[in-house]
Chains A and B, each alone.
Chain A
Amino acid sequence: MEAIITSGLEQGLLYCFMVLGVYITFRVLDFPDLTVDGSLPLGAAVTAAMISGGQSPWTATLAGVAAGLCAGFVTGILHLLLGLGSSGSAAANYGAKLLAGILTMTGLYTVNLRVMGKSNTPLLGLDGVFEQIEDLFGVAMSGWNLIIALVALAVIVKYVIDWFLRTEFGLCLRATGDNEQMIRAMGTNTAFTRIVGLGIANALVALTGALVAQQQGFADVGMGIGTIVAGLAGVIMGEVLFGERSVSWVLFSVIGGSIVYRLLIAVSLRLGIAPTDLKLLTAVLVVIALSIPTVRKKVVRI
């Protein structure tokens, strides 16, 4: 029982950065960004390749995050280019957003293979950030120790995002997703705010990729499949279970949603569901959630 809880918490906290990223794109920017399926393994691939190339895991993790940032920028720029000729109708606009993300995601598959030179990079016997923390503090980075360290990181990241979204630039970024016409009339270049927002979101997704690779001991080119649906599941569960009374609060809700989702997964695995069946299970879960009217009303913005 405790094993289920610790593994659920651990995974929920590792993946909460990705869910925060998905929250920023879907909710704050009103941009259904499919880049995340590629930027999560990108963070993992860059980090793993650099660690196995002898770099410090801290540098490697930062590089993985920076790669995710750039992937988000690319999607933002593609969206700008795709949207220039569009009629500006809501449907065409969504089409451009989806297509921009799909194009980046598809391209990233090749990038990730190139970065690693193969489809899987093991980190056996190599130090990641968790081993370095073990050496530094002399405590084992597993079980509750790992969970406490991840909680600390999640809280720090949460407060940085919270602060950022309340800065002048952050307000413009939120208004870009809330009422783009208005904020443009106020003199904001919304193409720019959107590009920055997508960059930050995908940097968070890549952070999850980088940490997961080091925690599980390998990066795999296929590890990003279904990220978007898992991210959505986390966002929806967080909002429904913990509420969204303010931006500051909803960031905690979303982290909670990520944890609940991974706990459910841990339980399902324990009940004997095959790991390969989990993606379908998640998709079905999201569909069921969407069929509940009150949930649907909240999520219909998607």
Chain B
Amino acid sequence: MSRPASLELQAVRKVFFPGTANEVVALNGIDLEVPVGQFVSIIGSNGSGKSTLLNTIAGMYPVSSGCVLLDGVDVTRQREFQRSRLIGRVFQDPTAGTAPSMTIEENLAISFMRERRSGLRLGVTNRRREFMRTHLEPLGMGLEHRLKAQVNKLSGGQRQAMSLLMATESEPSILLLDEHTAALDPKVAATIMDLTAKMVSERGLTTLMVTHNMELALRYGERLIMMHEGRVVLDLGPTEKEALQVSDLIDMFHKVAGEAFAVDRLLLE
């Protein structure tokens, strides 16, 4: 099992369709250091590069320039499946984190395999079923009695709880959450958010959580980052965060966005 790890990004840039009319600078020089076990909330407007930031850390596509370090080790050149042993992810779409036509037990068996190469042993054994039940029970959704149910028969909240369990099963070094409660109705979202906080604190996971909900960003995590146009424009520690209200955050956001707008205009003129 891996221990929680530190994360470091050095001058990371990501440009989509470089050199074409469709060029998009999604990340424009990100420097970020996250110590072991820190829970960071990330906010920012649509298209500010939050998802791209997480995708880049996970290695979904190569960076244009810069480095990504996990526990001081440069993983920039590693492919996604190579660094995945260190990284757990949950996406906004509840269908993204599980294989829909496979059963609950088959999905969980897959997450158990992350530690090592899969072989020709049976994926689901009775011993593993026992283990799965003890892990499903704390979710409080009764899934421990439905091991043979296909995942596409579950509700969005249940699927997202499964995704969260699968992402954290092998004790990843880093947990990346991309608006993972945004597609759920408020009550279910709150349940999933409580589960998240519990898992993160129990395991001391280094966590990056993107959210568009400023209240969540203030309530959870000991650090808050705001992104705008591919840059980190605000970075608040626990004490600064404590004193903050949602309205303060909105003011700061408008100030930053407004300034960027003014600079843009200046450059154009």
List A residues at the B interface (Cβ < 8 Å). Answer: 164, 166-172, 174-175, 178-179, 181-190
Contact with A along B91-123 (1 / 0, CB 8 A): 000011111111000100111011000111111
The residue that A171 contacts in the complex, of B85, B87, B89, B123, with Cβ under 8 A, is B123
Chain A residues whose C-beta falls within 8 Å of the C-beta of B85 in the assembled complex:
187
- Tell me the B109-158 residues at the A interface (CB within 8 Å): 109-111, 113-114, 118-124
Chain B residues bordering chain A, tally (CB within 8 A): 31
The residue that A187 contacts in the complex, of B81, B95, B97, B121, with Cβ under 8 A, is B81
Q: Beyond the given A171-B109, A187-B114, could you list 16 further A-B residue pairs with CB under 8 A, ordered by the A residue number?
A: A166-B124, A168-B109, A168-B118, A169-B119, A170-B123, A171-B106, A172-B110, A175-B99, A178-B101, A182-B99, A183-B99, A184-B80, A185-B80, A185-B84, A185-B89, A189-B81
- Decide: A169 and B118 in contact? CB cutoff 8 A: yes
The 19 sampled A-B contact pairs (Cβ below 8 Å) are A166-B122, A167-B119, A168-B122, A171-B109, A171-B110, A171-B123, A178-B99, A178-B100, A179-B96, A179-B99, A181-B96, A182-B98, A184-B80, A185-B84, A186-B110, A186-B114, A187-B81, A187-B82, A188-B118
A182 and B96 in contact (CB under 8 A), knowing A171-B102, A187-B84?
A: yes
- Decide: A175 and B110 in contact? CB cutoff 8 A: yes
- Decide: A190 and B96 in contact? CB cutoff 8 A: no
Chain A residues whose C-beta falls within 8 Å of the C-beta of B79 in the assembled complex:
189
Chain A residues whose C-beta falls within 8 Å of the C-beta of B121 in the assembled complex:
167-168
How many Å from the CB of B211 to the closest CB on chain A? 20
- Decide: B120 and A185 in contact? CB cutoff 8 A: no
Chain B residues whose C-beta falls within 8 Å of the C-beta of A186 in the assembled complex:
84, 110-111, 113-114, 166
Chain A residues whose C-beta falls within 8 Å of the C-beta of B98 in the assembled complex:
179, 182
Chain A residues whose C-beta falls within 8 Å of the C-beta of B95 in the assembled complex:
179
How many Å from the CB of A54 to the closest CB on chain B? 36
How many Å from the CB of B16 to the closest CB on chain A? 10
How many Å from the CB of B156 to the closest CB on chain A? 15
Chain B residues whose C-beta falls within 8 Å of the C-beta of A170 in the assembled complex:
123
How many Å from the CB of A24 to the closest CB on chain B? 14
* Docked CA distance A178–B87 (Å): 21
Nearest 8 A-B pairs (CB), nearest first?
A168-B118, A178-B99, A187-B84, A171-B123, A175-B99, A179-B99, A168-B123, A167-B120
How many Å from the CB of A69 to the closest CB on chain B? 17
How many Å from the CB of B244 to the closest CB on chain A? 33
Decide if B226 is an interface residue (CB 8 Å cutoff). Answer: no
Residue of A nearest to B115 (CB): A187
Residue of B nearest to A190 (CB): B81
Contact with A along B50-61 (1 / 0, CB 8 A): 000000001000
Chain A residues whose C-beta falls within 8 Å of the C-beta of B120 in the assembled complex:
164, 167-169
* Docked CA distance A171–B105 (Å): 11
Residue of A nearest to B106 (CB): A171
- Decide: A171 and B81 in contact? CB cutoff 8 A: no
* Docked CA distance A185–B113 (Å): 12
Chain A residues whose C-beta falls within 8 Å of the C-beta of B97 in the assembled complex:
182
Chain A residues whose C-beta falls within 8 Å of the C-beta of B80 in the assembled complex:
184-185
- Decide: B100 and A179 in contact? CB cutoff 8 A: yes
How many Å from the CB of B74 to the closest CB on chain A? 19
How many Å from the CB of B36 to the closest CB on chain A? 22
How many Å from the CB of B81 to the closest CB on chain A? 5
* Docked CA distance A115–B99 (Å): 42
Chain A residues whose C-beta falls within 8 Å of the C-beta of B114 in the assembled complex:
186-187
Chain A residues whose C-beta falls within 8 Å of the C-beta of B111 in the assembled complex:
186
How many Å from the CB of B91 to the closest CB on chain A? 8
Chain B residues whose C-beta falls within 8 Å of the C-beta of A185 in the assembled complex:
58, 80, 84, 87, 89
Residue of B nearest to A87 (CB): B17
Chain B residues whose C-beta falls within 8 Å of the C-beta of A167 in the assembled complex:
118-123
Contact with A along B35-74 (1 / 0, CB 8 A): 0000000000000000000000010000000000000000
